[in-house]
Amino acid sequence: MKRYMKCVGVLLLGTLVSCGGGGGGDGASSSGDPGNSGGGSVATPGRFEESDAAVSLSAGWTPSNPNFGWSGGTARESAAAGATATFRFTGTSVTWIGRRNRGAGIALVRVDGGPAKEVDLFARPNEIRTPVITINGLSAGSHTLTIEVTGRQNSAADSNVVVVDAFDVQTPIVSHLQETDPDVVYSGSWTQDDSASWSGGGVASLPDPPVGGARFTQTAGAKVTLKFRGTSITWQSGRGPDFGIATVQLDGGAPVDVDSYSSTPKFQEVLFKATGLADATHTLTITATGRKNDASTGTKIVVDAFDVTTPGRRFQEEDLSKITYTGKWIHGNVNRVWSEGSSATSNTAGSRATFFFTGTGVSWISCQKESCGGVAKVYLDGAEVPEEVHNWKPVPIEGYQRAVYRVDGLNNGPHVLEIVVMTNGSYIVVDAFDVRP
């Protein structure tokens, strides 16, 4: 099983904290075969790299750009019509981990040879190691997921490349938070880099400035702090010949050194990961030390994004079996780092999104920034929630995949959540809904 990044670890409050990367995890194949020759192994829950024995790749796949932080260190891509990737697994849900960007094409996805779902991978931000599509509600037992390259692309795309990076079985909820998120707090001197190589970078729409991308510092003692609620956290950053050493602390525990030096540039790479956390509020602190590897020419530290996992299931905004829209909505917005690539937006008062769910808790996943600063009323089971949701945030704050409304402690039965747009002109976003069992 391939491993790319050097991991660091510490036992903190009974929780193993480590960097990301590495293949297999709990889902490692028992065959011991790290190649793609057979695809005959049946997977178990966890992450499986594209090199796992449970994955078969046809002819027509080549290695993806090594300057990006792919899951496990590598990924495969193809623009050849008819090229296929097949993953055999056991579980009731599966997620394809791949890439969305301006050069991405269209693929067909099937489970167990059933009807194909067309997946357009075009997006304006360049997102690697990203959840492309999650298929839920499968019967317990063994299944086969097939991805087929069509060789087609939409009219806005630069090319038709399809990337297979990894697969997750029994996927938790994952929220990909940008470095501009309202809960990310900086101290000391930090500089914005809006390069398209970083998550969320290279895109802007008026009146927003191009503030997405990453932030970096070379100042010893500069810090970034994120408060989050979840059961795991990753820090996505980069490596390079002029990068330095940072310390990472979780909940005020012992600091862990993370060396981000590399002789070649790396973008969107996970440098730190903590798993097995209590489902509670935690604090992650990253500090630039001013120290460096002897081979490095500088002490740069980059903050690109964070992934937070929580229990439950995410329903995407396009799930019309659970969500109904009335009024004026724009569907298929692919201009930002939305959950699984797209969102629904409305700037028309009276427009309504209604979500039907069964569970003990629900979160509305949306956006908070200047141009998505609309006001909404929320109704739960027909009763108006006392506080309106105000999503405006001043530049340069931009929060994506954010829970802007959340309620816990419901009886475990059917419920209805309604979102009503209250203002004209400024947008309200429906990106997804998270449900706790």
In a domain, 2, yes or no: no
Report the DSSP pairing between strands 305-310 and 173-178.
antiparallel
- Assess whether 135 and 26 both reside in one domain: yes
Last residue of a domain, one of 276, 310, 344: 310
- Cα dist from 44 to 33, 144, 311, 336, whole Å: 15, 13, 19, 33
Q: What is the structure's pLDDT at 5?
A: 32
The answer on 254 and 370 residing in a single domain is no
302 plus 331 within the same structural domain: no
pLDDT at 27: 34
**270 with 180, same domain?**
yes
Answer yes or no: is 4 within a domain.
no
The verdict on residue 64 lying in a domain is yes
Q: Are residues 259 and 142 in the same domain?
A: no
- Mark the ranges of the chain whose per-residue pLDDT is less than 50: 1-43
pLDDT in tens, 146-175: 999 999 999 999 999 999 999 999 988 999
Same domain, 388 and 405: yes
In a domain, residue 9? The reply is no
State whether 363 and 402 are in the same domain: yes
CA 129/CA 72 separation, integer angstroms: 10
Cα 178 to its chain centre, rounded Å, is 10
Q: Based on the structure, what is the number of domains in the chain?
A: 3
Q: Encode 148-184 in three state secondary structure.
A: EECCCCCCCCCCCEEEECEEEECCCEEEEEECCCCCE
Cα 162 to Cα 57: distance, rounded to the nearest angstrom? 13
Residue 282: per-residue pLDDT: 98
Does 186 share its domain with 304? yes
Q: Is residue 12 part of a domain?
A: no
CA 297 to the chain's CA centroid: 31
Final residue belonging to a domain, choices 171, 199, 233: 171
| Confidence (pLDDT) at 36 | 40
- What strand order describes the sheet that includes 343-346? 330-333, 343-346, 428-430
Count CB atoms within 10 A of the CB of residue 6.
Answer: 11
Question: Which of 171, 201, 228 is the last residue in one of the domains?
Answer: 171
**Could you tell me if residue 413 is inside a domain?**
yes
Pair 46, 156 in one domain: yes
Residue 74 lies in a domain: yes
pTM, two decimal places: 0.90
Q: Which two tokens stand for residue 358?
A: 């069964």
85/117 same-domain check = yes
The pLDDT of residue 335 is 94
Q: Are residues 162 and 221 in the same domain?
A: no
CB within 8 A of 174, min separation 6: which ones? Answer: 131, 307, 308, 309, 314
Query: What is the domain extent for residue 49?
Result: 20-171
Residues 162 and 28 in one domain: yes
| Cα(269)–Cα(240) distance, integer angstroms | 11
CA distances for 331 relative to 110, 334, 346, angstroms: 23, 9, 9
CATH number at residue 119: 2.60.120.260
Going by C-beta distance under 8 Å and a sequence separation of 6 or more, which residues neighbour residue 264? 66, 67, 240, 241
